[in-house]
Amino acid sequence: MFTVRLPALLVAGLCPLAGLFFFLIGTYPFVTSSNCTVGGVCTGLGMPPQNVGEVYGVVKAYTTRVGIGAFPTEQDNEIGELLQMRGKEFGVTTGRKRRCGWLDLVQLRYAYMINGFTALALTKLDILDVFPEIKVGVAYKLDGEVIPHFPANHEVLSKVEVKYETLPGWDTDISNARTFDELPVNAQNYVRFIEMELGVPVKWIGVGKSRESMIQLF
């Protein structure tokens, strides 16, 4: 099949687990044997890297994790419980409750560095509708000093202190919004803040459960 010239085809490759579960770059030993990065698409499909086109990262508007392991932005309190309840966060295979916390941009920058996202799909923004203020983890501190990278080492990661930026919430049901302009200003600002911090545009925003509840920006 590799010696025959075929018409160009659009092939969608999916990495079904979060990139930081890949054992070579994740927080060992809390990893999997699979390659969950965009590189795994190449090895899985038997195609060269230069044939990869757009790379879309899919991220929730907050952070979740199933099982044990370091989770710097975890909210082991009423905030985490509310995120879990509103987002119906249960492990697909195990049925266990997912641990929930604020969005972790340090972790997301690391995922971007490895995968080279060309755009993001930001899902479950509506889960944040009820929060008067929303925090975003923007940096880690270790022994009082800001560290410039994500430490893919469980022992180090479990000791970091998170530096947060606090943004105002919108206290409005956004599930009926179908364009970016229909979102409350504070919800728009939350999306733009993520784009600015990462340097990656958000192409889709999920605001509800239905197929129609996905706003496309470009």
Among the four given CATH numbers 3.40.718.10, 3.10.20.600, 3.30.470.10, 3.90.170.10, the one describing domain 6-216: 3.90.170.10
For residue 100, the surrounding DSSP H or E stretch is strand 99-101
pTM of the model: 0.85
Return the pLDDT at 2: 46
Do the annotations mark residue 32 as ligand-binding? yes
Do the annotations mark residue 88 as ligand-binding? no
Do the annotations mark residue 92 as ligand-binding? yes
Do the annotations mark residue 126 as ligand-binding? yes
Do the annotations mark residue 124 as ligand-binding? yes
Do the annotations mark residue 123 as ligand-binding? no
Query: What are the backbone dihedrals phi and psi of residue 101, each rounded to the nearest 5 degrees, phi first?
Result: -165, -175
Do the annotations mark residue 125 as ligand-binding? yes
Do the annotations mark residue 97 as ligand-binding? yes
Count other C-beta atoms under 10 Å from residue 129's C-beta.
Answer: 17
Do the annotations mark residue 98 as ligand-binding? yes
Identify the sign of the CA torsion 108, 114, 116, 117: negative
- Per-residue pLDDT tens, the chain, 218 aa: give them: 344 444 444 545 444 446 565 544 556 555 565 665 666 666 666 667 677 678 888 999 999 988 788 899 999 999 999 999 999 999 877 788 999 999 999 999 988 988 888 999 999 999 999 999 999 999 999 999 999 888 878 888 889 999 999 999 999 999 999 999 999 999 999 999 999 999 999 999 999 999 999 999 99
Q: Where are the chain's structural domains?
A: 6-216
